[in-house]
Amino acid sequence: MSSPAHVPVLLDRVVALVAPALAEPGSVLVDATLGLGGHSEAVLTRCPQAHVVGVDRDVHALDLARKRLEPFAERITLVHAVYDEIPEVLAEHGIGPVQGILFDLGVSSMQLDVRERGFAYAEDAPLDMRMNDTTGMTAAEVLNTYPAEDLARILRTYGEEKFSRQIARAVVREREAEPFSSSARLVELLYDVIPAPARRTGGHPAKRTFQALRIEVNDELGVLRRAIPAALDSIDVGGRVVVMSYHSLEDRMTKQVFAERTRSTAPVDLPVVPEAHQPELKLITRGSEKATAAEIAENPRAASVRLRAVERIRRAA
């Protein structure tokens, strides 16, 4: 298996956002998308009082992160789970409300860089795309079994692909001759279906289709829809939740949940807002933050990141 590279996105900014909540002994950060452990390593280094609970659905990532974080073995707990299972993970380990939760969403460096995982469209590989490759349906199975209307819906909704219907019809036609198994054949089909003028703008013509398939295979938006409210309910007063999104669907969902939970529930014409109607959380970022031009030049994967963060300011009623 090829070796992955790893450059954590917005590393200093993430540490700066969570550090104030991790100053006390026994404070806990949940790294809900551990990956190769770059953000956790920085937090453990710069926040010496903190303990990290590192969660990932990818067993290969956990193995690599365990080696990387070995110097901090006494201050880290690694868990094989999906990030919408945070309440269950905390309960299982006897951990109460935590001081920080970090989500670095999307596909990890390791998953992109290891050819055999099938996430990247730049080289031929099996069409897998499972973040947990021990269970579940692969991208090839989605392509070979879904009806055309479902394929078109996935491409349109998750990939914002303008040519979703044309691509879906072509996939159904081609799979009758031979089922899809490799990324190169899918990329070739996309080049044939997407008109030349459209291929010249918006990045690689396979980017949107591969994103859509990955989101479907891993139920990424369903998991996120459950995970963010669960995370907000799992932090203590002064605790912070930081979410890094890499496409508009993730960021929109994060923005909506944060807006709802940082808004007063009192009627707008009340002169004084009763305590019970005060928001439990406050925004600590103005809108979404982006990577600097310098960071994007060093790490092109940072180009699409959008970061949002909130802090709990009072306990739930």
Collapsed DSSP state (helix, strand, coil) of residue 178: coil
First to last CA, the chain: 51
Residue 83 marked in a binding site: yes
111 assigned to a ligand binding site: yes
Name the residue among 303, 305, 304 with its Cα closest to residue 294.
303
- Does 56 appear as a known binding residue? yes
**Please, what's the b/e burial string for 191-200 (b: 16 or more CB within 10 A of its CB; e: otherwise)?**
eebbeeeeee
Query: How many angstroms separate the CA atoms of 231 and 103, rounded?
Result: 10
CB neighbour list of residue 47: distance below 8 Å, 6 or more residues apart = 15, 18, 19, 22, 23, 27, 29
Phi, psi of 239 (to 5 degrees): -75, 155
DSSP assignment of 220-266: HHHHHHHHHHHHHHTEEEEEEEEEEESSHHHHHHHHHHHHHHTS--S
Please name the residues in contact with 174: beta carbons below 8 A apart, sequence gap of 6 or more: 180, 189
Q: How far apart are CA 191 and CA 266, in angstroms?
A: 54
104 among annotated binding-site residues: yes
Query: In the sheet where 98-104 sits, what is the strand order?
Result: 76-80, 51-56, 28-31, 98-104, 235-245, 306-312, 281-283
- Confirm or deny that 39 is annotated as ligand binding: yes
Label residues 223-261 b or e (16+ Cβ within 10 Å = b): bbebbbebbbebbeebbbbbbbbbbebbbebbbebbeeb
233 annotated to a ligand binding site: no
Binding-site residue positions: 37-39, 56, 83, 104, 111
Binding-site residue positions for S-adenosyl-L-methionine: 37-39, 56, 83, 104, 111
